[in-house]
Amino acid sequence: MNLPPSITSVPQEDIFTNPFFAKVREEDSLLQYAAGGGSTGAAESGRPPVVVCGGSSSYSSEGGRHQIEAHILQSAHVPGQYCNLRGQGLEIKSDRVTTGVGFGQRRICHVTQTENMYDYGTNFKIFVLDRPVCGVYTSGRGGAGPASLAMAGPCDWLSGCPQAEDDFYDKIFKFRQTYLLVPGYEKAAAVRIRDIASEAVATVERHEAGKPSGVVRPVAAPPGSDMKHEVERTAYATLHAFIFPHILQYTLPEDTRLTERIRNYSNGGTLNLRTILAAASAPKDLLTAKNEVLTRCVQSLVAELGKLDNQIAPMDKLSVLTAALEHCQKLVSEIVRSSLLVTAPDQGGQARVEVSADHVLAMFVAAIASLTSSRDRANTR
């Protein structure tokens, strides 16, 4: 079967080298405003994202001056709906940002990268786009692909092409019947699953491209980007009963050793969090916090990690871990501030807290230790 060449993936860039975000960071008050969501009430209602454009996007320049565009968004109190500081509406859904009310042109921008930031005591997210949401740009990739794919949902794309759907499930069934799972070669299995999903997407795109249509597709994301993610998730859900027992069996020796070592930190069945944090090389400001603050924050992180039970696909588990990381940053900030209130009561409430990787790692170690000691192995995995 001849498949069209895959779309070249957009390389990940260091967000701190992005010229547009760098300009935003130069205005410290602007970044502080973004971290606060524009106001105290907005910050409490949800994490404010900052939308910027990728450094690889080509903008037109007038008089030798390049146009730079970045948007700070506030929640519109409707899931997925936001507005910028001019009151223009945008919708953020999966891997795309769509312009709405207030914009002169409907434009669909592909999200090439997301970054989670923590500053001024607040988590917020940055979306790097392949094109500006309203500025002039030059891009060799825009506007390609069938019009009907721009507006349909991922599940509609696959079910709308019986040939692709039947072939997809046939290959999944064959994979389950014939593929030999070998310890240490899980990555090869993941590559094969991704190939099956990509082949299904390519079949749908050929099917859609053959349909007569006079509709001009708006500037949009690369075709199939959202669908590939959704089809791959479906593949993992279908193969879960086949793959998950293998992973449990493969990791049994390491998990057994981990459980035994964690028992060494328990006293009468109760974990000593401070001892675990010290063993994980936690910074001093975590170790000097009060026991009740440590226990409450670790249990809060345990609850976030517990949401992994409801996820099957690796990409969904990764989303839960990303959310847990954001939550952990807030918890560390709370713990460090409580320590400062003890050592320096006059500055604890005002000092700016720096959250390091050592803080986060130590908290995750303590949370995983709590999970391992209180739950069965399958759920912990």
Q: For residue range 56-87, what is the model confidence (pLDDT) as tens digits? A: 544 444 444 455 677 888 777 777 788 887 88
Regions in the chain scoring below 50 on pLDDT: 1-10, 39-45, 57-65, 139-152, 214-224, 377-381
Structure tokens at 121: 């005591």
Distance CA 210, CA 225 (A): 19
Q: Which of 338-344's residues contact partners 24+ apart within 8 Å by CB, and which partners? A: 338/289, 338/290, 338/293, 339/285, 339/286, 339/288, 339/289, 340/285, 342/288, 342/290, 343/288
Q: Say what the pLDDT of residue 11 is.
A: 53
Rounded to two decimals, the pTM is 0.56
Q: What is the pLDDT of residue 62?
A: 46
Give the start-to-end residue ranges of the domains of the chain: 15-36+66-133, 156-212+224-249, 270-341+353-380
Between 357-374 and 314-343, two packed helices, what is the crossing angle to 10 degrees? 110
Q: 3-state secondary structure string, the chain?
A: CCCCCCCCCCCCCCHHHCHHHHHHHHCHHHHHHHHCCCCHHHHHHCCCCEEEECCCCEECEECCEECCCEEEEEEEEECCEEEECCCCEEEEECCEEEECCCCCCCCEEEEEEEEEEEECCEEEEEEEECCCCCCCEECCCCCCCCCHHHHCCHHHHHHCCHHHHHHHHHHHHHHHHHCCCCCCCHHHHHHHHHHHHHHHHHHHHHHHHCCCCCCCCCCCCCCCHHHHHHHHHHHHHHHHHHHHHHHHHHCHHHHHHHHHHHHCCEECCEECHHHHHHHCCCCHHHHCCCHHHHHHHHHHHHHHHHHHHHCCCHHHHHHHHHHHHHHHHHHHHHHHHHHHHHHCCCCCCCCCCCCCHHHHHHHHHHHHHHHHHHCCHHHHC
- 271-275 long-range contacts, CB within 8 A, separation 24+: 271/369, 271/370, 271/373, 273/298, 273/366, 273/370
Please check whether residue 227 is in contact with residue 201, taking contact to mean a CB–CB distance below 8 angstroms.
Answer: yes
pLDDT at residue 225 in the model: 54
User: Residue 314 has what pLDDT?
Assistant: 86
